[in-house]
Amino acid sequence: MSPPENDRTATGTTTTRRSAMAPTRPAPHTARPPTTPIPPGRAGEPAGAAQCAARLEALLGDPRDPGNPYGRSALRAAGHTRLPAPPPGLPGAAEMPAADQLARALRPLLRRDLALAHAWSIRPLLSTPVPHPAAELLGPAALVASAGGVLRGAARIVDGLSSYDTAARQWRPVLASVFADLLACESLMTVALRACPGPGRSADGPTPPQRGAGEPLAAVVGYLVPELVGELLGDLELVLNECGCDGDTAEQRTLAKILRDRAFARVDRTAARAAQTRIVEGLNAACDSWPDGTAQCAALFRITGTAPAVASGTGPHAVAATLAGAADRLAGAADAGTAALARVARRLVIEQRALRAACAVTAVHDPADPAARALADRQALLVLAAATLGVREAAAGARLPFLGDAGWALPALARIAERLGLPLPARSPDPQPGLWEELARRAAHGVDCDLYGTRLTW
């Protein structure tokens, strides 16, 4: 058996720290078991998506194999101009018409390589006569999935170092915060993907999905995910540098390739700014009234079961409007974590009301106006908070372990509140130790950093 990628350089030699002490990198799929057994697919998850993902994972092969044309070393050498052709059997929109199922089926590709995901799945969906509504969401999904791979590698390194180097433990809260932010981004993308309309039917057979519903949410994803993940990649680079991982380690090479591929995959700051412009243009809808999004968005928050029919007008204002209902339902919680979550949610509801009033002051918002862009920032962050709360609440109702707890949603919402400049409530419990333990278990036992807790093949 070949050594894990974390212990090899491009020449096959073992890496060492710049200091005299080498990082201990546990091999994937070993060490501590996960908190609860994680099956290949959650109950109620569409079987087709899980089966397609497993087949695609097998087609892509071992990413550490230097002879694999779809391995990481081959893809680094290929650049953007000599990418390999996709293997037969790549899942597509014809096989997985629902956007959320398509993203689940393509997850192994999105996780493997950002450039390859753009060339094999995103570009074809964008180049059709009627671009698929999920196309612009798959780029951010690939960025989050790729960042999750770097996070798992960094967590293995910090976990190994922490066993004998107490100074390395200072990076546990940093990585736990990155994990919470990635889960929040995954929640937002899940809601946006489930809001995408499916294909219609005519007398001549299936017709392409119609654009319209879900597009404002896609703009929020297209703006916020590249911005936040760019920040998180900086945090991961800092941790890797401080742990002695130089540029010739697998983690640093993977991180560098993600940064290099962002513009090619249209998930860089230029693309984010264009999406922000669309959010500003959509702020005019807030000048009249915000809909009650509780009823029409409830099904969007569930990560199990089939995608719901898209309700008319489902967009960022409708999603953000669910904050108040979620905060009310959290009120009076007995456990400290959920009670703290309720307090943060109430502060976000106050911010939402202030944003609505600020949007109503100006009838037409100019994307060139810095004040309008600041409103768009606040709007996007509130939608992120609503998606996070909604997914956590739906998971709690379905009694899903970990995802139904407050331990991941509380730090995610706290970081959103901090980005909005809101003061955090006092006497809140610290959920980061528990969040770190979950991350360390996933990293050591070969489990993805996604909402589904997907077990990895390689």
3-state secondary structure of 115: helix
Question: Does the pLDDT of residue 203 top 80, yes or no?
Answer: no
| Residue whose token pair is 């899940």 | 190
Question: Looking at residues 411-433, what average pLDDT do you find?
Answer: 90
Q: By 3-state DSSP, what share of the chain in percent is helix, strand and coil, each rounded to 5?
A: 60, 0, 40
Supply the mean pLDDT for the chain. 83
37 or 333: whose pLDDT is higher?
A: 333
Task: Quick: pLDDT tens for 89-120.
Answer: 888 888 888 888 899 999 999 999 999 999 99
3-state secondary structure of 205: strand
Question: Does the pLDDT of residue 11 top 60, yes or no?
Answer: no
Percent with pLDDT over 90 in the chain: 59
162 or 311: whose pLDDT is higher?
A: 162
Alpha helices in 106-198, H assignment, sequence order: 107-112, 114-117, 123-126, 135-162, 172-195
Model confidence at 41, pLDDT cuts 50, 70, 90, reads very low
This prediction's pTM: 0.87
Element (H, E) at 202: strand 200-202
Q: What pLDDT does 289 receive? A: 52
Question: Does the pLDDT of residue 58 top 90, yes or no?
Answer: yes
CA–CA separation, 333 and 328 (whole Å): 10
Contact 456, 447 (CB under 8 A): yes
Model confidence at 318, pLDDT cuts 50, 70, 90, reads confident
Point out the least confidently predicted range of 24-28, 243-247, 433-437.
Answer: 24-28
Buried residues in 305-333 as b, exposed as e (16+ CB within 10 A): eebbebbeebbbbbbbbbbbbbbeebeee
**Which pair of tokens denotes residue 448?**
């993805």
Model confidence at 151, pLDDT cuts 50, 70, 90, reads very high
Question: Does the pLDDT of residue 212 top 50, yes or no?
Answer: no
Q: What pLDDT does 290 receive? A: 53
Question: Looking at residues 266-285, what average pLDDT do you find?
Answer: 90
Q: What pLDDT does 285 receive? A: 59
Question: Does the pLDDT of residue 10 top 80, yes or no?
Answer: no
Question: Does the pLDDT of residue 311 top 60, yes or no?
Answer: no
Q: What is 340-355 written as a DSSP string?
A: HHHHHHHHHHHHHHHH
Contact 233, 154 (CB under 8 A): no
Model confidence at 22, pLDDT cuts 50, 70, 90, reads very low
Q: What pLDDT does 15 receive? A: 36
Question: Looking at residues 73-87, what average pLDDT do you find?
Answer: 92
Instruction: Using alpha carbons, select from 31, 41, 97, 33 the residue that is nearest to residue 451.
Output: 41
Task: Quick: pLDDT tens for 442-451.
Answer: 999 999 999 9
Instruction: Using alpha carbons, select from 247, 213, 219, 228 the residue that is nearest to residue 183.
Output: 228
Question: Looking at residues 75-96, what average pLDDT do you find?
Answer: 88
Question: Does the pLDDT of residue 186 top 90, yes or no?
Answer: yes
End-to-end CA distance of the chain: 13
Q: What pLDDT does 292 receive? A: 56
Point out the least confidently predicted range of 201-205, 271-275, 345-349.
Answer: 201-205
**Which pair of tokens denotes residue 268?**
């860089």
Q: What pLDDT does 69 receive? A: 95
**Which pair of tokens denotes residue 439?**
């991350």
Q: Which of 28-37, 256-265, 331-340 has the highest mean pLDDT?
A: 256-265
Question: Looking at residues 6-26, what average pLDDT do you find?
Answer: 38
CA–CA separation, 125 and 136 (whole Å): 9
3-state secondary structure of 207: strand
